[in-house]
Structure 1
Amino acid sequence: MARSNRPRRENSRRRQSKRNQEWQPLDVERLQGGMRRTEFKRGREYTVQPIRAERAQKVYTCPGCSGDIMPGTAHIAAWQADHIMGDASALADRRHWHSHCWKIA
């Protein structure tokens, strides 16, 4: 049986609807900065957000080594994902860690 190279109507409709959608540019800053993720450590679930060097503008104390995280240093912010007092309280209790200290904690 000969094979037809013509697109089926279903496929051509699908292509047209994709073409008609409004184009939205990629958020390059978000892609470069890393995505928020969930990790399990010490039996708890944590939300981990990478912080790029250019966005780090304050001095933080790393809870892993008690050393300072200076402005302009890439690091991570972590908070408990299943906080008993809710998401707002968990976010207020977030801590900034050196990336290495978080990995070995």
Structure 2
Amino acid sequence: MGRSRRRRPEPRSTDDSFERLLSGFRRTEERRGNSWNVQPVGPGRSDKAYTCPGCSRPIPPGAAHVVAWRDDGVMGARADLEARRHWHSHCWNLA
């Protein structure tokens, strides 16, 4: 019996898979007595420009950054999510 002539799929780049894995993990952080949801956005994962509330400078489309929103706001989870903001990662770390 001969060998199969079907092409084997090429292995995915581990770098790409790892970046994809990391780009969606949400974590909770405490800042100044408040609880915040923080979710990283990996490079190439956004298609829109945002203004960072930490430095008032633009975050260009495709740039890695974080999205943060309150986890314990008095108006409820939906209002907290709607009030989320996109930050440069370094600005969030300094906040």
Q: Normalised by the size of structure 1, how large is the TM-score?
A: 0.69
Q: Who is 1:14 aligned against?
A: none
Equivalent of 2:60 in 70, 75, 98: 70
The equivalences for 1:37-48 within 5 A come to 37-48=27-38
Counterpart-to-counterpart distance in 1, 2:19 and 2:51? 25
Counterpart-to-counterpart distance in 2, 1:73 and 1:30? 14
Q: Who is 1:18 aligned against?
A: none
Q: Who is 1:86 aligned against?
A: 76
* Count, aligned residues: 79
Q: Which runs of 5+ in 2 are unaligned?
A: 1-16
Give the SS at the match of 2:91: helix
Q: Who is 2:45 aligned against?
A: 55
Counterpart-to-counterpart distance in 2, 1:30 and 1:55? 9
Q: CA RMSD in A?
A: 1.7
Q: CA deviation at 1:30?
A: 5.3
Moved over 2 A (4+): 27-30
* Structure with more of its chain in helix, by fraction: 1
Percent of aligned pairs with the same residue? Answer: 54
